[in-house]
Amino acid sequence: MAEKLISKIPEGPLSEKWTKHKSQLRVVNPGNKRKLEIIVVGTGLGGASAAASLGELGYNVKIFCISDSPRRAHSIAAQGGINAAKNYQNDNDSVYRLFYETIKGGDYRSREANVYRLAEVSGNIIDQCVAQGVPFAREYGGLLSNRSFGGAQVSRTFYARGQTGQQLLLGAYAALNRQIAAGTVKSYPRHEMLDLVLINGEAKGIIARNLVTGEIERFGAHAVVIASGGYGNTYFLSTNAMNSNGSAAWQCYKKGAFFANPCFAQIHPTCIPVHGDQQSKLTLMSESLRNDGRIWVPKKKEDVEKLRKKQIKPSDIKEEDRDYYLERRYPAFGNLVPRDVASRAAKERCDAGFGVNETGLAVFLDFSTAIARLGEDKIRERYGNLFQMYEKITAVNPYKEPMMIYPAIHYTMGGIWVDYNLQTTIPGLYAIGEANFSDHGGNRLGASALMQGLADGYFILPYTIGDYLAGQILKPKTDTNAPEFEEAEKAVRAKIDKLLSIKGKDTVDEIHKKLGHIMWEYVGMARNEEGLKKAIGLIQDLRKEFWTNVYVAGDKDNFNQELEKALRLADFLEIGELMARDALNRKESCGGHFREEMQTEDGETKRDDENFMYVAAWEYKGQDEAPELHKEPLKYENIKIATRNYKD
Amino acid sequence: MDLTLRIWRQKNAKAEGHFETYQVKNISPDSSFLEMLDILNEQLIHEGMDPVAVERGCQSSGPVSFDHDCREGICGACSLYINGRAHGPDDEVTTCQLHMRKFKDGDTITIEPWRSKGFPVIKDLVVDRQAFDKILQAGGFISVGTGGVPDGNAILISHETAEESMDGAACIGCGACVATCKNGSAMLFVAARVSSLALLPQGKVEGAKRAKAMVAKMDELGFGSCTNTRACEMECPKHITVSHIARLNREFLCAKFKD
């Protein structure tokens, strides 16, 4: 089966690969494009930009989202910005530097050619968004403004206040709306993909549930694009939206698409801490805040005690009694180290007993130095909406007292395995954006998710999918009466009937919270062999409990949010196990994956390049069977592999 | 804190709705409003799975359906009318950002869906807002395709203009403006988009055409007219002001003169 993992990375010098590859890709003439149908699942930055671009090219596109409108997709919540190697600041930025920093930030576990291409098209994204009317922040002379983000030594992040994701998504959604009006794209809101349909081994359609009526519907096409985001909600508490889920990607896995590096989950250092067991989600405070905010805990335990008892305020603690631990440990990058490094450093301080709230799981993010330097108005202009959001949630005014923050699950770097064309191991099935695995390695840099989603959707997929579709022009419209559709629909109906018939004693959320606790405890910020083995057993037990004792309220022929959640949880209960298996297999620490057995004397990650410089791609082998591991070796021909160093 | 909830229940678009009353206990003031509803729903599910309670005449009609997603005030999915106000008693927040510390122990809270001709009820507190998508499809975009565009810095836009455009672009499409308007007008929603794009040189080109097309679609879909009560501005969680409506009117008049 090893021949399935063909990365299709073009030969030749790195900087010429994409140009050369594009020139060799087949194209479909306009008349034939009209005969071809494409299904896009998901309407975030990847899905919306892909569907809009494919519609413009003349293909017939169907786009699906689980929300009431494409604009609700969770890309909308990205705050800080989008990277692009424009070098507008004259700080010696370049395509190579963005490429290099992304590979390094990902701890040398991403694919060189993909990342270089991402950096190469990054500039086009900004031009595209400006043309669409995205109101990026501007300098007084009218030029585009930039800020800095973690893991970068230049200012290359473009932004629209703290709402960059919203503005970029509204740009892509507007382009999509234009195509919907033109009739090239048909939109299916409140529809959830529940299965992928293969005919003769090729992706030919999906089974979806109409979330309003409960009807199970069949949709056929010549190719299917998965743009359904990541699986961070496996942990129950995360910064993902409540409805974000891994189910579309997971159905593809179960139909034969390989799933790569599932254990690479990003834990974001600056989120509002957990307040109690009634909590439903965690709120992110943008990484951009680390441009002006300084992270610290008290140096003295007695100050910690007083803070916890609310006898003193953080601002009462004298400058010399504060430990700005990121500035102390990583002088070169200071507060702007990558996310995984900042998260672990916060955990280290809290584990050592310096956490500053009642639960002991919080550190300060302090703006007093920046406010003294720039004035409150400047800080309000840069981060006003974030400060307001913080105050509404916590009832603390961050202009006066520092924010309290703690790491939380935010993004998943792992995902469906794709080749250089973004095609999965199933012909005709593509995966883009967070749903695939290819660009971020073990850790994604801030402001790079937006970049990747739009790069895939606007500039990469519309070219590469043509190469496949050129071979489909003689194939007729997919017949949704084919036995393969019949069978897939039957399986979906049986699954729904089974869930509704259990009528046990546990609610869906109760089981999901239990899964979240197992994941955070054993497959979270620090992992070890014993804990991971234990987690696998616990998840298997919990999965049994789910299938024998869950209670799903309501019926199937209606709007039923409990049923939606139950179907997603059924998949999270399997995804969690694969994450633990992958984490157990990867006996090294790299990026966000920290194996306690593999660390340096000062607690930094210790990679094992000799044994683990590969992409772990897992193949489904059947329910309750162990999945099979395939390895795609990673070759670095253009950069020197080094230990990640953010100290000097 | 302990609370009494009066919640609108409606099985589907065709069924008649009614209020049901529920009690919830020990709610933390740090919980969000939607977390309070999560707790109620868990309670209702447990009541529903107890056949004895159902036999005793327990009125449970299952968990309450409500739209929600990001729970950080940006996706625009949540949409509740709480004690007679869109998004509840706090200013400049969506329902998901409303916290229980804004209420008192023993309060009775009335929760309804958006009520407007343009937004039919789907179930309980969930409404259909596809009309907003249709209005934007009528012209809420700049007609550029992917690729072949000039360099981002080739178009100079003053800092102030970009900021003003951003003020309108901050609209999250939640529909509070429509729900709160006595005429059920979508004027603020339409104006935010028209104005945000008209301010920018890229969007100016199609400004008049866009205004006309979007207003026509709004009228066609059954939204009412604007009579300048400014209620929309008061309830907008993103503080979008009626100055955008003034700019829309200007664009609209220009279009009419050209006709």
pLDDT in tens, A7-22: 999 999 999 999 999 9
Q: List, in sequence order, the alpha helices (H) in A207-268.
A: 247-254
| pLDDT tens digits along B145-199 | 999 999 999 999 999 999 999 999 999 999 999 999 999 999 999 999 999 999 9
CB-CB neighbors (< 8 A) of A56 in chain B: 145-146
User: How far apart, in whole angstroms, are the C-alpha atoms of residue A580 and residue A85?
Assistant: 36
Pull the structure tokens for residue A298. 């008290």
Distance from CA of B206 to the nearest CA of A (A): 12
- A553 vs B197: CB contact, 8 Å cut-off? no
**DSSP notation for A174-218:** HHHHHHHHHTSEEEE-SEEEEEEEEETTEEEEEEEEETTT--EEE
Mean pLDDT score, B1-17: 94
Helix (H, G, I), strand (E, B) or coil at A366: strand
Q: What local confidence, expressed as pLDDT, does residue B101 receive?
A: 95
Side chain identity, residue A394: T
Residue of A139, A180, A242 with shortest CB distance to B71: A242
pTM for the structure as a whole: 0.97
Q: Which strands make up the sheet holding A415-416, listed edge to edge?
A: A415-416, A259-260, A614-619, A628-633
User: How far apart, in whole angstroms, are the C-alpha atoms of residue B26 and residue A80?
Assistant: 37
Give yes or no for a contact between A143 and B153, defined as CB atoms under 8 angstroms apart: yes
Give yes or no for a contact between B114 and A93, defined as CB atoms under 8 angstroms apart: no
User: How far apart, in whole angstroms, are the C-alpha atoms of residue A18 and residue A313?
Assistant: 55
Residue A221, pLDDT above cutoff 50:
yes
| DSSP H/E element including A348 | helix A339-351
Residue B53, pLDDT above cutoff 70:
no
Q: Which strands make up the sheet holding B80-82, listed edge to edge?
A: B18-24, B3-9, B108-113, B80-82, B85-86
A45-49, A129-133, B55-59: least confident range: B55-59
Give yes or no for a contact between A627 and A619, defined as CB atoms under 8 angstroms apart: yes
- B141 vs A166: CB contact, 8 Å cut-off? no
Helix (H, G, I), strand (E, B) or coil at B82: strand
CB-CB neighbors (< 8 A) of B158 in chain A: 138, 140, 142
CA A44 to chain centre: 11
User: Distance from first CA to last CA of chain A, Å, rounded?
Assistant: 44
Give yes or no for a contact between A350 and A301, defined as CB atoms under 8 angstroms apart: no
User: How far apart, in whole angstroms, are the C-alpha atoms of residue A272 and residue A260?
Assistant: 30
Q: How confident is the model at residue A320 (pLDDT cuts 50, 70, 90)?
A: very high
How many residues does this entry show for chain A?
648
Residue A175: closest C-alpha in chain B: B141
Burial string for A144-169 (b: 16+ CB within 10 Å, else e) reads: bbbbbbbbbebbbbbbbbbbbbbbbb
Residue A268, pLDDT above cutoff 80:
yes
Pull the structure tokens for residue A276. 């109690």
- A144 vs B153: CB contact, 8 Å cut-off? yes
Average pLDDT, chain A: 96
List own/partner pairs for B251-259 with CB under 8 A and 24 or more apart. B251/B194, B251/B195, B251/B198, B251/B207, B251/B208, B251/B210, B251/B211, B252/B208, B252/B211, B252/B212, B252/B215, B254/B207, B254/B208, B254/B211, B255/B208, B255/B209, B255/B211, B255/B212, B256/B212, B258/B208
Catalytic, A339? Answer yes
- B75 vs A76: CB contact, 8 Å cut-off? yes
Pick among B36, B67, B75, B217 to test the A interface (most A CBs inside 10 A): B75
R_g of chain A computed on alpha carbons: 24
A139 interfacial to chain B (CB closer than 8 Å)? yes
Q: What local confidence, expressed as pLDDT, does residue B58 receive?
A: 53
Give yes or no for a contact between A229 and A247, defined as CB atoms under 8 angstroms apart: no
| Look-up of token digits 């009209």 | A34
A56 interfacial to chain B (CB closer than 8 Å)? yes
Closest CA to A567 of A625, A494, A490, A626: A494
Helices B207-220, B187-198: inter-axial angle, 10-degree rounding: 170
User: How far apart, in whole angstroms, are the C-alpha atoms of residue A261 and residue A615?
Assistant: 6
Closest CA to A562 of A491, A502, A489, A487: A502
Give yes or no for a contact between A39 and A54, defined as CB atoms under 8 angstroms apart: no
Longest CA–CA span in chain B (Å) reads 72
Distance from CA of B249 to the nearest CA of A (A): 20
Q: Cα-Cα-Cα-Cα dihedral of A115, A120, A126, A129, to 10°?
A: -80
Closest CA to B87 of B187, B236, B189: B236
Q: What string of H, E and C letters represents the secondary structure of A418-437?
A: CCCCCECCCCCEEECHHHEC
Closest CA to B76 of B54, B94, B102: B94
Q: List, in sequence order, the alpha helices (H) in B138-258.
A: 159-169, 176-180, 187-198, 201-204, 207-220, 231-235, 243-258
User: How far apart, in whole angstroms, are the C-alpha atoms of residue B14 and residue A485?
Assistant: 32
Q: Which residues contact A264 (CB under 8 A, 6 or more apart)?
A: A109, A412, A413, A414, A437, A440, A441, A442, A443, A591, A592, A593
Bridging pattern class, strands A415-416 and A506-507 = unpaired
Q: How confident is the model at residue A1 (pLDDT cuts 50, 70, 90)?
A: very low
A115-129, A264-278, A293-307, A463-477: least confident range: A264-278
Catalytically annotated residue among A339, A344, A543, A586: A339
Side chain identity, residue B251: E
Mean pLDDT score, B236-248: 96
**DSSP notation for A18-84:** HHHHHHHS----HHHHTT-EEEEE--SHHHHHHHHHHHHHT-EEEEE-SSSSGGGSGGGG--S-EE-
A contact residues 189-248, partner B, Cβ 8 Å cutoff: 189, 212, 241-243
The 10 Å Cβ neighbour count of residue B91 is: 12
Helix (H, G, I), strand (E, B) or coil at A260: strand
Give yes or no for a contact between B80 and B113, defined as CB atoms under 8 angstroms apart: yes
The 10 Å Cβ neighbour count of residue B56 is: 8
A181 interfacial to chain B (CB closer than 8 Å)? yes
Mean pLDDT score, A347-365: 94
Interface TM-score (ipTM) > 0.95: yes
Give yes or no for a contact between B131 and B60, defined as CB atoms under 8 angstroms apart: no
Give yes or no for a contact between A50 and A462, defined as CB atoms under 8 angstroms apart: yes
> Based on the number of CB atoms within 10 Å of its own CB, is A359 exposed (0-12), middle (13-18) or buried (19 or more)?
middle
Residue A183, pLDDT above cutoff 60:
yes
Distance from CA of A574 to the nearest CA of B (A): 23
Residue of A131, A137, A166 with shortest CB distance to B162: A137
**Residue A393 or residue A611, greater confidence:** A611
User: How far apart, in whole angstroms, are the C-alpha atoms of residue B133 and residue B136?
Assistant: 5
- A553 vs B63: CB contact, 8 Å cut-off? yes
Give yes or no for a contact between A194 and A172, defined as CB atoms under 8 angstroms apart: no
| pLDDT tens digits along A39-66 | 999 999 999 999 999 999 999 999 999 9
| pLDDT tens digits along A414-466 | 999 999 999 999 999 999 999 999 899 999 999 999 999 999 999 999 999 99
What is the torsional sign of CA A59, A63, A69, A70? negative
Q: Which residues contact A310 (CB under 8 A, 6 or more apart)?
A: none
- B152 vs A144: CB contact, 8 Å cut-off? yes
CA A359 to chain centre: 28
What is the torsional sign of CA B132, B133, B134, B138? positive
Pull the structure tokens for residue A583. 């984490």
| DSSP H/E element including B100 | none
The 10 Å Cβ neighbour count of residue A410 is: 25
Q: What local confidence, expressed as pLDDT, does residue B57 receive?
A: 54
Strands (E), A286-386: 294-298, 322-323, 363-366
User: How far apart, in whole angstroms, are the C-alpha atoms of residue A641 and residue A568?
Assistant: 39
Pick among B74, B99, B137, B240 to test the A interface (most A CBs inside 10 A): B74
- A133 vs B71: CB contact, 8 Å cut-off? no
